[in-house]
Structure 1
């Protein structure tokens, strides 16, 4: 348990403030490297009714958000565990996909985050019955409902900071995604063009990416989206902020 906490605490020291993509990738990578029996980990978010795996999906030979434990966990906020794809047939199609990809077991663990969005960390193993004990420890660590297990106050603080940063990263991911969608609809941008526009506007206005995205989302909700676009020199379809 303490080994896992020490490893996760390092994330806080290694990630830049706005690099939420790296934060999430590093988070799931460190989990996979540290949790006993874990061969792969993913992070899945539910925002505005849409479910998306935001980290760890690269290289998987199946769709992690097919109907199954991951979607149920992120929808209902409850842990789900598939002990052995060969014997547990509650989600037969999902189990078949996971088994064909070489995994035998998985556990989906809801994370405690603020707001209406929800997030789930899912661990996979090539061996069956790997997470019966580990799952409980990881839930305690990541949701911070049992901070008393940490004897070292500094370690607890670092772990708490890691979770705060993860929450910030997830919130940033959601805001940026919503702002991207608004630009895509308004200007008929591609996903890449919309993100590049946000990054450029962030740099030109000397505003953090998450703050800029939050301002656009807020302006849209207030009916002031066009005004906000004008302030960023985005006034016509295809027109981008000046370099």
Structure 2
């Protein structure tokens, strides 16, 4: 696998980072995440972000009216990939690439295809400092357009968004935030090493990093760098 990021990914992440660096609101960051999903994730035509507030699941940002309406339909049905990822015991991502073909949520599939022309849907849990925050919802107008590559791209976007939202929540200064976002690649390497060493998934590995960070009062990037130095491959 090439270590060189895709130019579109780099450009989009820089634009998102600038939103956070300028100290804009959570609303601005939420919208930037949705817009980035449409640009970055293969097959994504619409995107939204839902969060749980005071026991209610609400849409805090959407790329367009279709995405917002899709969230409303899913809330009315009461089940779907975007709502299910908010369940702590559920997988951190759900996907149905073709809502007409054996979808786990048949009622939702029928309504989305008939009412909105949506044929593919995926939900990704978004975490902030290791706690459940909400879900990034990715929608496609084309059956089968959401693929494993789409999952990888959306997962990376969610990781980036989590770092930015967590930093904004803590009120970090712009320079500190910039260093944290730029170190995200190192955090990803550390997560990968922990997954390989312990046979765990990415969410559990990130949780391990976060726990050590909190217990030792160190930045997440510092913990990641130590993991890489200790367990990473040695140069010849």
Shared topology, TM-score over 0.5? yes
- Cα pair 2:86 2:132 within 8 Å, conserved: no
2:99 to 63, 78, 85: 85
Aligned to 2:216: none
- Cα pair 2:126 2:162 within 8 Å, conserved: no
Tell me if 1:74 matches 2:92.
no
Tell me if 1:6 matches 2:11.
yes
5+ residue gaps, structure 2: 172-236
TM-score (norm 2): 0.57
Aligned to 1:167: 166
Alpha-carbon distance, 1:34 to partner: 2.7
Tell me if 1:97 matches 2:111.
yes
Q: Provide the C-alpha distance between the structure 2 equivalents of 1:119 and 1:27, rounded to a whole number of angstroms.
A: 13
Equivalences, count? 156
Q: Secondary structure of the residue that 1:106 maps to in structure 2?
A: strand
Distance 1:26 1:140, change over 3 A: closer
Alpha-carbon distance, 1:19 to partner: 1.7
Task: Kindly provide the CA deviation profile for residues 50-80 of structure 1, in whole angstroms up to 9, marking residues without a partner as x.
Answer: 2112110751344243421111012235211
Aligned to 2:197: none
Distance 1:40 1:96, change over 3 A: same
1:137 to 129, 132, 152: 152
Distance 1:170 1:125, change over 3 A: farther
Q: Provide the C-alpha distance between the structure 2 equivalents of 1:91 and 1:171, rounded to a whole number of angstroms.
A: 37
1:114 to 129, 154, 159: 129
Aligned to 1:215: none
Alpha-carbon distance, 1:171 to partner: 8.3
Q: Secondary structure of the residue that 1:112 maps to in structure 2?
A: strand
Provide runs of 4+ in structure 1 moved above 4 Å: 168-172
Mapping 1:155-194, distance limit 5 Å: 163-168=162-167
Mapping 1:210-229, distance limit 5 Å: none
Larger Rg: 1
TM-score (norm 1): 0.55
Alpha-carbon distance, 1:95 to partner: 0.8
Alignment RMSD, CA only? 2.7
